[in-house]
Amino acid sequence: MIKLARYLIRKRIVVAVMILTQLALLMLFVYSLSQFAVPAYATLIILSIVVVIYIVNRPDNPSYKLSWAILILVVPIVGGVLYLIFGGKKIPKALRKEMVKSSNENAPFLIQDPAVLNQIRHLDPQLFKQINYLWRNCYFPIYKNTQTEYFDLGEGKFEALKRELRKAEKFIFLEYFIIKKGCMWSAIEEILVEKVKSGVDVRLIYDDFGCHELPEDFDEYLNRMGIKTFVFNPLKPTLAILMNNRDHRKICVIDGKVGFIGGVNLADEYINVVERFGHWKDTAVMIRGEAVWSLTVMFMTFYNYLSKENEDILKFKNTDIPEYITDGYVQPYSDSPTDDEPVGETAHMNIINLAKRYVYIMTPYLIIGYEMQKALITAAKNGIDVRLMVPHIPDKWYVHAITRSNYEQLIKGGVRIFEYEPGFMHAKSLVADDEVAIVGTTNMDFRSYYMHFECGILFIEGKIIRELKEDFMLTQKQCIEISMEDCLRVPTLRRWGRAILNLFSALL
């Protein structure tokens, strides 16, 4: 009973209940108005028809348009009103204005070395297209003088993170979607406090939704400890689409020398200290060298927006970078819902479309639209070895149901699908042709592609490509391969349930 009471008073639950209460009251008012006033009823129906026409003609993802059109046509009296409140992927004007402004102001700090671009152009004109896309649309350059280290589990990233944090002399920047109290965070907090006392500039950004289990005044507590902390998009009990825009990035920068990125948050399940959904499989990357500067700019752009300051980012640039022995290229990038450029989705799509021999993908969620499904199937039909690895034990049953609803069409098209039998697959990575790979925070779902702030690193050539492929092949031995027979054995009622959920997949 005590556990239930504690659960019910959590901030996320309280906010959700208040929002649902507001929504219920609004819908009740709209419905009552339609029942007692014929003009109001006709107006609401006309509104829904107009909204559907508007949705169909918007340059949006077809899955998103279909989900909203079905919802509105099922409940036409309130459907149009629901879309006006929650639809359209609206971004608050202040957020859009300031983030675009920050991006434009910081773009000159990110300068592309033309010699590196020419090297890739001659190496592979097809890969050059991917590089050029990220440079021209995100302003993030590709670097040569950068070392990489790949972690095939969260435990490896945690040990490396502690080691590098202890070496910090100037500054530490941390930006995470999830922080939970436990062994992992306690160890990191202890190091951060020690570093603050020794004069290191320590800054932290965390997402309020992802960190809903933290105490209400956790940011104030950290600020008192000397850790400059900001909470992104605090949860508020208001009917507003902006609550959907979350900071899903996981970035750490130390002295401008070392950077971390990947799927691993700061919570004990990510290092398998506690078990939530079986064994937690996740990945991360550590980089040293020139490419760390892009991660610094990513963090400080966000920090300047949240702090309402315009701090000079150049003062955090590390100008004392040794010459590393490297065998590949590194291109960090970020994705934002404040523009109309689906960077994360396009980066994934480019790798799939440009693959010549194989493309192997790890993702916790497979909530994809027609274009992505078609790209995967077309690649497989072209003779490309396309493999997807997803969880066997889900964290959200309804999301996993939608993931499984895609199996039949993909397998029929030649795509091989593997479920990670020991537990939950949280890695977000793609590797193709022993030439190119992405490790980042972007899931293959609508939220990551269109609603969240995300980041990743594109790798060209280098040992990390081989390590990613080897990790995929070793992990595949712990997986169950899904066959067409498995799909056809699913009970009819469950298939219908998955199909219905899939209709609204873009809204979940």
Angle at 409 between CA 403 and CA 415, to 5 degrees: 85
Residue 334 lies in a domain: no
Residue 131 lies in a domain: no
For residues 504 and 424, the answer to whether their CB atoms sit within 8 Å is: no
- Sequence letter at residue 444: M
**Tokens representing 86?**
């929650």
Q: Report, in this order, helix, strand and coil percent for the chain, each rounded to 5.
A: 50, 20, 30
Same domain, 286 and 154: yes
Residue 97 φ/ψ, nearest 5 degrees? -60, -50
C-alpha to C-alpha distance for 365 and 387, rounded to whole angstroms: 14
For residues 192 and 202, the answer to whether their CB atoms sit within 8 Å is: yes
Same domain, 373 and 490: yes
Residue 130 lies in a domain: no
Residue ending a domain, among 39, 59, 86, is: 86
**How crowded is the C-beta side of 201, counted as CA atoms within 13 Å?**
9
Residue 263 lies in a domain: yes
| pLDDT, tens only, 420-463 | 999 999 999 999 999 999 999 999 998 899 889 999 999 999 99
**Tokens representing 494?**
């469950």
Closest by CA to 260, choosing from 22, 491, 455, is 455
| pLDDT, tens only, 379-424 | 999 999 999 999 999 998 988 999 999 999 999 999 999 999 999 9
Q: How many CB atoms lie within 10 A of CB 271?
A: 22
Please return the burial class of 227, using the count of CB atoms within 10 Å of its CB with bins 0-12, 13-18 and 19+.
buried
CATH assignment at residue 176: 3.30.870.10
Same domain, 98 and 79: no
Residue ending a domain, among 40, 70, 86, is: 86
Same domain, 53 and 187: no
Same domain, 288 and 315: yes
**pLDDT at position 5:** 46
Same domain, 291 and 152: yes
Residue 288 lies in a domain: yes
| pLDDT, tens only, 292-317 | 999 999 999 999 989 988 899 999 99
H/E/C letters for each residue in 405-455? HCHHHHHHCCCEEEEECCEEECCCEEEECCCEEEEECCCECHHHHHHCEEE
Same domain, 48 and 153: no
At residue 80 the predicted structure's pLDDT band, cuts being 50, 70 and 90, is confident
- The average confidence (pLDDT) of the chain is 88
**pLDDT at position 8:** 42
Residue labelled with tokens 């990125």: 261
pTM, whole model, 2 decimals? 0.89
- Tell me the H-state helices in 263-359: 292-307, 343-354
Residue 71 lies in a domain: yes
Same domain, 43 and 68: yes
**Tokens representing 195?**
């570093």
Residue 247 φ/ψ, nearest 5 degrees? -90, 95
Residue 58 φ/ψ, nearest 5 degrees? -80, 150
C-alpha to C-alpha distance for 297 and 316, rounded to whole angstroms: 9
Q: For residue 22, what are the domain limits? A: 2-86
| pLDDT, tens only, 163-199 | 999 999 999 999 999 999 999 999 999 999 999 999 9
Q: What's the Cα-to-Cα distance from 351 to each of 434, 435, 463, 472, 477, rounded to whole Å?
A: 12, 10, 18, 17, 24
Closest by CA to 450, choosing from 355, 372, 354, 361, is 372
Residue ending a domain, among 265, 294, 329, is: 329
Same domain, 355 and 440: yes
DSSP string, 362-412: E-S-B---HHHHHHHHHHHHTT-EEEEEEESS-SSHHHHHHHHHTHHHHHH
Residue 462 lies in a domain: yes
**Tokens representing 424?**
């939950």
Same domain, 190 and 290: yes
Same domain, 158 and 303: yes
Same domain, 210 and 242: yes
Residue 363 lies in a domain: yes
Domain count, the chain: 3
